[in-house]
Chain A
Amino acid sequence: MADLQSQDYIRRSASTMTPPSIRDHEREVAKLIDVSRCIGCKACQAACMEWNNLRGEVGHFEGSYDNPLDLNPSTWTLMRFTEWENEQGNLEWLIRKDGCMHCEDPGCLKACPAPGAIVQYANGIVDFISENCIGCGYCVKGCPFNIPRISAVDHKSYKCTLCSDRVGVGLEPACVKACPTGAIMFGSKSDMTTWAGERIEDLMSRGFTKAGLYDPPGVGGTHVMYVLHHADRPSLYAGLPDSPHVSTYVAVWKGLFKPLALAGMALTVVAGFLHWVVAGRNEVQPADEAEGQRVLHPTEDKR
């Protein structure tokens, strides 16, 4: 894909200039994952592997439905299963499809030091341009959702692309295509928000009074949203952050401190130069040499 030029960037990592963005007349897209309709079949996981030609190493059974146990460089989406006993003492099987949330204000992109290694298109998709990636792992620190994974083989960071290659030619992401229950929907963000509203209404009418849409404002909203039956407690769903935001440490480091540090260094150099101009160099004088000799050879001095 890197051979096709993109002229629809709205953000580009480690770039101080406006990225090519003339083709910005694009609708913001969103993937809506309706947790209440998911049956945990993992068709989305399989479709992701198939479309993206990803084949992770075959692992071992770990006593959990989660398979593999965690995201990795070749697993960009993962079903996470939670068995939760609700207030009535009933078991609820909460299944969440985990993966990149495609934040409107992406922490990975903010933290990335490599120009153009992470970009955001006008449709909202956050994409890793791997040939620019230097493998530092800063995106891992920037991400509030613990998504990017660095490959030990090629030292590049990987995550869900929201099938930017498919979306770019008018197709829906592979996981959406494969979902047999319609739990994963894809379209414009406004359409998906409207659709989520209908789903939430339905859930509420069935007794899930806390049902709601997960589109966290702490990261400016996301382009992957969830319909949750327990939207008041997102962390029930395998630790989905309750109020995600880019870490303050990362914000200070990449925000205020970056220009301050360079200014501090530059000022020190300028101060040195000004001292050179005002006071000038400190040179040993012939009188000093005479005094020095006198200290070293006091007897000769007496003679």
Chain B
Amino acid sequence: MPSTAQYLMLSATLFAIGLVGVVVRRNMITVLMCIELMLNAVNINLIAFSYRLADLQGQVFTIFVITVAAGEAAVGLAIIIQLYRLRSTVNVDEVKTLHG
């Protein structure tokens, strides 16, 4: 059975990759995908500790995180569609009206 530490390592790797993607990519849709990746890394942590502590709390929280991720994806994608209609771009660095 893989130990909790191995799961935490894997989750840290996925989280770091997702974080790099959020900062590095220009395409807004890919940025949203990388956020989903980071949320998934958190879910791995919750499941690993749920097993380690023999407590269902972690699994219940994972379900809540998945729900929040679904809502976040829906609203984020709606914002991206609307932005594309207004600006004809999905690049993060070209949307800087608030920048002045």
Q: Do A and B come from one complex?
A: no
Residues of B within 8 A of A (CB): none
Which residues in A have some Cβ–Cβ distance to B below 8 Å? none
